[in-house]
Each structure stands twice: as C-alpha cells, then as structure tokens.
Amino acid sequence: MIRIRFHLLTGLAVVAGLNWGCNRNEEFAAPPPLDVEVGNAIIEDTRVYLTFPGRAEAYSRVDIRARVKGFLRSRDFQAGDYIEEGTTLFTIEPDQFEAAKKTAEAQLARANADLDLAKINAERMTTAFQSQAVSAVDKDTALADVDLKKAQVQIETASLDDAKRDLDYTTVTAPISGRVSRSLVDQGNLVGANEPTLLTTMTQDRPIYFNFEAGERAVVPYMPDLPDAENPSMAPRRPEDSQLELILADGTLHTVKIPDESTDDPNDTKSVPELGKIEFVDNTISNTTGTIRLRAEFDNKDGNILDGAFGRIRIPQEVVDAVKVPQAVVQRDLGGNFVLVVGEGNIVERRVVIPTEYSVEIEVGEYLEEFRIIEPYDKVRNTGVKADELIVLNNLQRARPGLEVNPKKRGEGGTAEPEQTAPSEEPPAEDSAGTPNADGKDKGEGKDKGEGEGKGKGKGEAEEKGKGEAAEAAE
C-alpha cells in the first residue's frame, strides 16, 4: 500500500512538471525594435544645372558648287582635312574659258580702235564745220559716233570681265577656313551642265553653335536680358550666362586642353571644361510645345564638337539653402511623395515632401549617391524635413509609420552598423556567491558536487528500503 502511494505521488509530480514547462514555452516574447540606419538632410547652398538636349550647328556651312560648265580635271584636297580659306579644291578644264578670254580681249581692242577713229573723225568734222566745209548734221553725226564707240568699249570691257571671271571659276577655292567633306563628283565628269553641281561641303566649327529648346518656365530668368532699345544686342549680363557646360553623346564633359602651369614642362597640358554662353533667344514661344529656341556658342578650340553632334547643355543655377536627401529614400504612394523620419520615442513618422526638378551627386564613402533637392520645411503644411530630423535610410519596406525602431547613425563610408544579437531570455547560471558565471568553471564543480550528493542520497534510500522488506518478512 505504501509502495502504490509512493508511485502515485511520483507520477503526479512528473505531470505537474511537464505542464509547467509547456506553459512557460507558450509565453509571448516581444521582438526587439527594428534596427534602421538614419541620417540628416544636407542643407547648404548648391549649384544645380538645368539640362536640355540639342544639336550642334556649324558657325558657317558652305556648299561648294561648280559655277561654270566643264569637265572636272582634278581634285586637290584630302577628304576630311582642315582647309584654309583660298586653298584650291577643284580644277575644271579651263581651255574654252581661256579662249573666251582672248576673244573678249580682242573685241575690246577693236572697240578701242573704233573709238579712236571716231574721235579723229569728230575733230575733223568740227574743224570743217567752222570753215563751213560741212554741214551741222555731219558734225553732229561724227560727235554721236564717238559716244557710240565709247559705249561699245564699255560692253566689250564687261564681256572681258565675264570671261576672266568664268576662267577664275575653273579653279574652285575654299571660301572659308574649316573642315571639308568628301568629293561628291569624281574626276573626269561633266559639271555645271544644267545647274551648279554640288562638289563638296565645308563647315567652320571654331566657334560652333549649339541649338536647343527650353520650356517657358526655364527661360523666365533670361527675359530681362533680351535685346531692347537700350541694349540692342544679345549679350550675357549674368555670370552664369557665360558658364554653360556641354555633355557629349558619350556622357563625358566637353573639355579643352590648356597649359599645365603646375609643372615645369611647357608641353604639359591639362583638360578643363570649356564654357559657353547664351548667344540667341528666339522672339516667339511655340504654341504647340510651349518651348522657345535658344542657341549657345562655344569656342571649340580643340575641334571636339562636330556639326550636327548630339549633346546636352547644362545651365547653372544657384539654390540657396538647398535641402538634399538621398533619392532612394523618397517614396511615393496615393498620398504623394514622402520620406520616413524618426520622431519622439523612436517612432517612425510619414512626412510629405515636395521634390524639385534638381538632383545632385554627392560622394558617400567610395561611391557617388544621387540626392534630390526638396522644398524647405513648411511648418504650416508640415511638409519637408528639418536639419535636425533623422531620416530613415534603409529597411524602408519594414519600417512603417507608427513602428518603434532602433535608429543608428550612418557611419563613415555610408554603411549601417551591424545588428546586435538578441540576448537569451534564460538567466545565466549562478555560482554559490550568486554572481553570473562568465566562464562556466564553477559550473563543472557544482555538477560534480550535485552528482555526489545524488549518489549518497540514493544509497541511503536503498538501505532503508531493504530494512523495511526484512521487517515485513519477519512479520
């Protein structure tokens, strides 16, 4: 009976222990706050650029055509070369024009001879009329014949000038200094038969124009610079009007080489941006596109910009106290653009921002990061961010408004600090003095001691059990 009662109490104790362990595991442990990387908005005076696409246009472009009829005798240039003004490009067969010139010279000589004869005859008639040897009609006829011969001399002189000019046209020269294109007509072909034949083209690209169109809003600052009665010419009146930059088709900045004064070698050069200026603003804004045509001028000293080249022009603008935030943190939903900021009690808040059209690249660590300029903080509408407010930079999908977070300042190099591992919920083992165990040394000693006590206790229970069974047998 005693044995049954002992086993029953032992089973109840085991069941109670299991229930206590299960209830302990079912207790809810709140997760630690989300680690987020935060940073402040950058507020400073910033130079930004308005960018507009466009194409380059040669300062001067000339079509070289045959102005007389004849066979093309020679081509005297290399396609693509830079040609100085007056250099011979083509030669047209001049034989017939040389003959025409000689004919005109002979006709002029004959006209001059006729004029001399008419003058002599007029003098004789005048003398004879004084002695009444001839009538007045004969005298007047002789004087009129002199005027007729003078007119004939003028005609023949003009014919000779035409013959000389046609002969000169057989030598086709460069009218400007610039780059010449390829020959469009091969040697030996007949040119100028029905119309002036196009032989080649030349472009003068130093300096060079760059045409582009800008929106009406962008050209408002230039309206006071337009020509008027007091200032009839278009001239830059602001410093930024002469500080235009050009981005070429491959994305590189248009530069020019200048002597490098930092070295002793006079042949050393360095590349610096070549700046242009606004040279022309049209007088009409398009009704269909709402844009206006503008033209910039670049010196193009190195000839890197070709006629017709595509590019993007950058017009500098100075923004005072520009508020810059990383482009990646600006989110958008049905309510508009917003960023997440850490408010009181490390609670995430949603803050509406109004981005501008300007963006800049800022070096963050080893990389360039794009920052968007937003409108300054507006206390009335509660839009924008203040200089001392913390903006959430990462974990944007997990950080929600109203959620408590653990903000960490962005470290040097722009990387977030490593997350800390959550501590264990179970208390550390304690030694006999009640202090936490750091290295577990005392834990082993306690184990040995516990095992010894357990063995001694078990031995005593066995001896008492044996004595009880002996007494029952004796009874």
pLDDT per residue as tens digits for the range 35-87:
999 999 999 999 888 899 999 999 999 999 999 999 999 999 999 999 999 99
Contact, 299 vs 269, CB < 8 A?
Answer: no
d(CA 390, CA 382) in angstroms, rounded, equals 15
Note the pLDDT of residue 5.
54
CATH code of 287's domain: 2.40.30.170
Which of 247, 160, 262, 250 has its CA nearest to residue 210?
A: 247
d(CA 232, CA 182) in angstroms, rounded, equals 41
The dihedral of CA 405, 411, 413, 419: what is its sign? negative
Residue 454 resides in a domain? no
Note the pLDDT of residue 58.
96
d(CA 353, CA 327) in angstroms, rounded, equals 12
213 and 282 share a domain?
A: yes
Domain limits for position 143: 94-169
List, for the chain, all residue ranges whose pLDDT scores fall below the cut of 70.
Answer: 1-28, 234-241, 411-475
112 and 84 share a domain?
A: no
404 and 332 share a domain?
A: yes
192 and 74 share a domain?
A: yes
Residue 24 resides in a domain? no
CATH code of 115's domain: 1.10.287
CA atoms within 13 A on the CB side of 367: 7
160 and 178 share a domain?
A: no
Residue partners of 273: CB distance under 8 A and separation at least 6 = 245, 253, 254, 255, 256
192 and 223 share a domain?
A: no
Residue 115 resides in a domain? yes
Residue 443 resides in a domain? no
Residue 419 resides in a domain? no
| Residue 40 to residues 184, 195, 267, 329, 393, Cα–Cα distance (Å) | 64, 72, 47, 12, 10
378 and 351 share a domain?
A: yes
d(CA 246, CA 252) in angstroms, rounded, equals 9
Note the pLDDT of residue 267.
83
398 and 369 share a domain?
A: yes
248 and 284 share a domain?
A: yes
Note the pLDDT of residue 10.
58
d(CA 57, CA 205) in angstroms, rounded, equals 8
Note the pLDDT of residue 101.
96
Number of residues that this document lists for the chain: 475
Residue 41 resides in a domain? yes
Note the pLDDT of residue 190.
96
Residue 418 resides in a domain? no
- The conformational region for residue 380 under phi > 0 = left, psi -120 to 50 = alpha, else beta, is alpha
Which helix (H) or strand (E) covers residue 467, if one does? Answer: helix 441-474
d(CA 214, CA 278) in angstroms, rounded, equals 12
Domain count, the chain: 4
Residue 245: count of CB within 10 angstroms of its CB? 20
| Residue 111 to residues 1, 116, 121, 141, 353, Cα–Cα distance (Å) | 167, 9, 15, 18, 91
Treating both helix axes as pointing N-terminal to C-terminal, what angle do 95-130 and 136-169 enclose, rounded to 10 degrees?
Answer: 160
177 and 251 share a domain?
A: no
Q: Which tokens belong to 367?
A: 């990389």
Residue 425 resides in a domain? no
Q: Which tokens belong to 334?
A: 């049905």
275 and 346 share a domain?
A: no
The b/e string for 112-139 (b: 16+ C-beta within 10 A; e otherwise) is bebbeebeebbeebeeebeeeebeeeeb
Note the pLDDT of residue 3.
55
Which of 233, 204, 247, 251 has its CA nearest to residue 55?
A: 247
160 and 210 share a domain?
A: no
Collapsed DSSP state (helix, strand, coil) of residue 192: coil
Residue partners of 116: CB distance under 8 A and separation at least 6 = none
